[in-house]
Structure 1
């Protein structure tokens, strides 16, 4: 994931976890944030859910290395979770909704598995509010290309704009949203990641060259070499009650 996982991605929900809670982390990746949830209080049981079985395997190995026995990981369709209706106390997700082709379906599914009065905690990016200094013409062009690539893969780089609305429409109550800026990766590292993603996507399936992405990749190449700067990503954090 371009935005990366930070150890404090679950910081907005950790103080709300209570002993005995049944917690899920949907779209958990390799489990870094799931492990922080699993050690938040005792006793607590956390299940990380990821569609990619390889990621689940890596997450299980990470839990063993960290000696965290309060977490488990399962592979599943993220819009059709392997949990009974009204069986979960806290449903958490970070960095998923901007990548999933049907984020509203995921939110509806989280509503299904949460018990009445259960807590929803989701966090997703809004690239329109990202802070980059300097923000040159090359930076703008490279990010536009990367956002095009993001949309082509079925995601929404501006999902943070609408996440509170999606949660309200799914029937949640007491919806609270706030923007938080995080410096998960540096300015130059962001440039390198964007350049790598665009360069890998230039060749189309029929062997042709995608000129729009090629132009964005050239801008990213220049961005990498333009020098250092500052980058903070805007994450929209939403808490709501089932």
Structure 2
């Protein structure tokens, strides 16, 4: 549920220098592909900035690779790999950037351990991690609250943590990083009714798969999302925690 070309990587850009090697985790969504091309464009002809995009979906990576070729960015590479076991050499990157990754994995500390492994000593870790518990949704009706509670429950059952942003600084410290700096930034998120529609769709898909073993709490949340979508307009401002740390 990211907002497309929204500037999520802006806090990373001042950290980049020509000649660096940058790892971009979770690069497949459209916003991620845009971040990869934007970062790669900061290099120069004599000192290119090489960006390696990593994601688990091979088909989507092929699309990302094709999009990169069309935009004439020749200093990008794409690798299919799990974030908990990166198929990359140790100490081979100057910067690791991950947008919207730690909230969707079962083992965020394992991901951060891999980030530490592939970074060179003194390398930088840059994370953009959502905290849905602080997301501002206006108007915040009873149906909106019920739908968000059900969706949060679903995400946790699937192994993620929609409020990962509130824990990320502790996880980074546990992984051995130093000079940790974090700040919360609010971005205009998905369209108000579109967010409700997305939540309704995700809940409905799980309920269809469950059949007669349908969870009544998720069913109730899906009904609330249905009501949300058919209500009036509103605004969404999503909380993202931006964290920078040194290997």
- TM class, shorter-chain normalised? over 0.9
- Count of aligned pairs between the two proteins: 241
TM-score, length-scaled by structure 1: 0.95
TM-score, length-scaled by structure 2: 0.94
Whether 1:143 and 2:148 are equivalent positions in the alignment is yes
1:10-89 matched pairs, under 5 angstroms = 10-30=9-29, 31-42=33-44, 43-89=48-94
In structure 1, runs of 5+ residues without a counterpart are: none
CA separation in 1, counterparts of 2:150 and 2:42?
39
For residue 174 of structure 2, what is the aligned residue in structure 1? 169
Inter-CA distance 137–206: structure 2 relative to 1 (3 Å threshold): closer
- Structure 2 counterpart SS, 1:91: strand
Asked if structure 2 preserves the Cα contact closer than 8 Å seen for 1:5 and 1:184, the reply is no
1:92-103 matched pairs, under 5 angstroms = 92-103=97-108
In structure 2, runs of 5+ residues without a counterpart are: none
Asked if structure 2 preserves the Cα contact closer than 8 Å seen for 1:125 and 1:233, the reply is yes
Structure (1 or 2) with the greater helix fraction: 2
CA separation in 2, counterparts of 1:7 and 1:13?
14
* Offset, 1:6: 3.5
In terms of mean alpha carbon deviation, does 199-208 or 186-195 score higher?
A: 199-208
CA deviations 1:165-189 (Å, max 9, x no partner) are 1111111110000001011321111
CA separation in 1, counterparts of 2:233 and 2:54?
37
- Structure 1 counterpart SS, 2:43: coil
Asked if structure 2 preserves the Cα contact closer than 8 Å seen for 1:28 and 1:49, the reply is yes
Whether 1:184 and 2:189 are equivalent positions in the alignment is yes
Q: Report runs of 4+ in structure 1 exceeding 6 Å deviation.
A: none
Q: CA RMSD in A?
A: 1.3
Whether 1:225 and 2:230 are equivalent positions in the alignment is yes
CA separation in 1, counterparts of 2:4 and 2:26?
11
